[in-house]
């Protein structure tokens, strides 16, 4: 009988070495770590960061920048995994995988960071590569069917990838890692997409819960517990992949070489990926000249059906996640402020100027754009002014197009795709909202000037 999928993924984790990666992929892995650290530091300055600490217990693990929320310093490893996974996701500016619709960082970086101990940052690189490759392979084999079936792939795939990453970091034996992956598949948190489309304020925690699942799966396996050999792929009974509408036959860990890392992108704007194309279309309009939002008669959006799931204005309270997942809010905020960035997020949540535009915004789906999804996220915005003139903009964001090195953000946007210098600017902009410029520069140096990887 052939080995189960969990055992084969464990074999991949043991086989895979840092030098198996190209120089471009090595550099990208370092940005996985740096970018999420920056997102965590910036997220920690928001009042909503307290949500990541609701389940926290005191311990020895410190988050990046020694962030303290609610008077709590160090955390248990499990608490740190939840907190970092939540805080780093608050701004919706963390990385994502174009071929799977998941955000690998919130679960994998958080789990590895929480398990780091006194290890240098360079020790985290290879485990991150293993975790990202694993999670993204599973996400790809179930995309977009998993999302369309109602499950958010960040938590389901993240728990498996994070377990592989933590096992690699801790250097547990093959059998234990195989059991840990199976346990993670058995206990994986399945986050309902409905929570995302309803913009629930608890949603940013789901990557952290996946990170905690990984830590707990490793601990259970180290204690000698097991969940079975075929939990992932199933057999006579359905396994996790069937539940997620995934294709187990598409997974061949024996052949994995880090190719999925190419499809991971970094976000230049703090918003849901399905709101970004609409914002970019407005920015396209701005590139031809600013307009007076007070003279707008109507804003018409033509997009792909998935984006319409995020087409409602925020609820009355305008909670942070509710705003960032709302296409109408993102468009209205962009129109009022003449651009879109971190300052849109930190502006007062309730703004009569922004809310006054909601009734003027309508959206509909295009069959043509639907055919391009998920390879391209296409959105057109047409603005009718009170004098009858029309302003039109378009975004054809190549969300699913892989890139081994730069550019690091999706092509086809008005916002220039992030190159190496752009990634550096993004990190410093985010990190310096919590720490000094000197400390932020030091963090980058520790990551990018590391000579060796364990």
CA distances from 166 to 108, 126, 219 (A): 8, 10, 11
Q: For the chain, which domains are there?
A: 5-266+418-448 (1.10.4100.10), 276-397 (3.30.1330.120)
> How much is the pLDDT for 69?
53
Angle between helices 437-448 and 420-431 (to 10 degrees): 140
For the beta carbon of residue 433, count every other beta carbon within 10 angstroms. 17
> What's this model's pTM, rounded to 2 decimal places?
0.95
The helix (run of H) or strand (run of E) holding residue 127 is helix 125-141
The helix (run of H) or strand (run of E) holding residue 60 is strand 58-61
* Residues paired with 395 in a beta bridge: 379
> How much is the pLDDT for 68?
58
Sign of CA dihedral 384, 386, 389, 391: negative
Q: Token digits for 199?
A: 């913009």
> How much is the pLDDT for 67?
60
> How much is the pLDDT for 163?
98
Q: Tens digits of per-residue pLDDT, 60-92?
A: 999 998 765 556 669 999 999 999 999 999 999
SS (H, E, C) 144-175: CHHHHHCECHHHHHHHHHHHHHHHHHHCCCHH
> How much is the pLDDT for 235?
86
CA within 13 Å, CB half, 430: 34
For every one of its 454 residues, what pLDDT tens digit does the chain have, with 9 covering 90 and above?
368 999 999 999 999 999 999 999 999 999 999 999 999 999 999 999 999 999 999 999 999 987 655 566 699 999 999 999 999 999 999 999 989 999 999 999 999 999 999 999 999 999 999 999 999 999 999 999 999 899 999 999 999 999 999 999 999 999 999 999 999 999 999 999 999 988 999 999 999 999 999 999 999 999 999 999 999 999 888 999 999 999 999 999 999 999 999 999 999 999 999 999 999 999 999 999 989 999 999 999 999 998 998 999 999 999 999 999 999 999 999 999 999 999 999 999 999 999 999 999 999 999 999 999 888 999 999 999 999 999 999 999 998 788 888 899 999 999 999 999 999 999 999 999 999 999 999 999 999 997 555 4
Residues with Cβ < 8 Å from 135, sequence gap 6 or more? 97, 100, 102, 104, 107, 108, 157, 158, 160, 161, 162
Q: What residue has token string 């389901």?
A: 156
> How much is the pLDDT for 318?
97
Q: Tens digits of per-residue pLDDT, 303-349?
A: 999 899 899 999 999 999 999 999 999 999 999 999 999 999 999 99
> How much is the pLDDT for 72?
62
> How much is the pLDDT for 1?
38
* First-last CA distance in the chain: 34
> How much is the pLDDT for 451?
59
Q: Determine contact, residues 218/166, Cβ cutoff 8 Å.
A: yes
How many residues would you count in the chain? 454
Which of 166, 110, 120, 122 lies closest to 26 in space, CA to CA? 122
């Amino acid at each position: 009988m052939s080995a189960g999928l969990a055992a084969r993924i464990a074999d991949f984790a043991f086989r895979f070495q840092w030098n198996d990666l190209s120089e471009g992929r090595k550099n990208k892995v370092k940005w996985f770590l740096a970018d999420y650290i920056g997102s965590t530091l910036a997220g920690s300055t928001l009042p909503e960061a307290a949500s990541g600490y609701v389940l926290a217990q005191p311990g020895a693990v410190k988050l990046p920048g020694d962030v303290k929320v609610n008077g709590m310093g160090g955390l248990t490893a499990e608490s740190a995994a939840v907190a970092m996974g939540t805080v780093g996701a608050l701004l919706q500016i963390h990385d994502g995988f174009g071929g799977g619709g998941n955000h690998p960082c919130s679960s994998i970086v958080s789990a590895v960071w929480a398990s780091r101990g006194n290890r240098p940052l360079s020790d985290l690189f290879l485990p991150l590569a293993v975790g990202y490759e694993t999670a993204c392979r599973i996400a790809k084999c179930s995309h977009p069917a998993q999302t369309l079936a109602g499950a958010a792939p960040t938590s389901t795939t993240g728990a498996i990838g994070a377990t592989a990453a933590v096992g690699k970091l801790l250097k547990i034996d093959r059998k234990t890692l195989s059991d840990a992956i199976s346990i993670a598949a058995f206990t994986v948190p399945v986050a309902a997409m409905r929570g995302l489309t309803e913009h629930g304020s608890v949603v940013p925690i789901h990557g952290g819960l996946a990170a905690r699942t990984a830590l707990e799966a490793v601990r259970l396996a180290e204690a000698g517990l097991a969940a079975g050999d075929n939990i992932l792929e199933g057999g006579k009974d359905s396994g996790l992949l069937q539940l997620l509408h995934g294709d187990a036959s598409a997974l061949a860990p024996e052949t994995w070489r880090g190719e999925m890392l190419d499809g991971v992108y970094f976000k230049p704007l703090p918003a849901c990926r399905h709101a970004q194309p609409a914002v970019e279309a407005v920015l396209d309009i701005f590139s031809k000249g600013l307009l007076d939002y007070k003279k707008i008669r109507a804003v018409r959006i033509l997009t792909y059906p998935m984006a319409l799931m995020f087409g409602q204005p925020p609820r009355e309270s305008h909670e942070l996640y509710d705003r960032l997942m709302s296409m109408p809010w993102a468009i209205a905020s962009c129109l009022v402020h003449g651009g879109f960035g971190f300052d849109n997020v930190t502006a007062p949540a309730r703004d009569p100027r922004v809310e006054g535009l909601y009734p003027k915004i309508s959206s509909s789906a295009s069959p043509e754009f639907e055919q391009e999804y998920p390879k391209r996220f296409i959105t057109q915005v047409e603005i009718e002014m009170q004098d009858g003139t029309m302003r039109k903009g378009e975004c054809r964001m190549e969300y699913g197009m892989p890139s081994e090195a730069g550019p690091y953000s999706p092509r086809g946007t008005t916002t220039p795709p992030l190159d190496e210098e752009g990634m550096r600017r993004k990190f410093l902009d985010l990190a310096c909202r919590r720490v000094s410029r000197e400390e932020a520069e030091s963090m980058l140096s520790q990551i990018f000037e590391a000579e060796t990887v364990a």
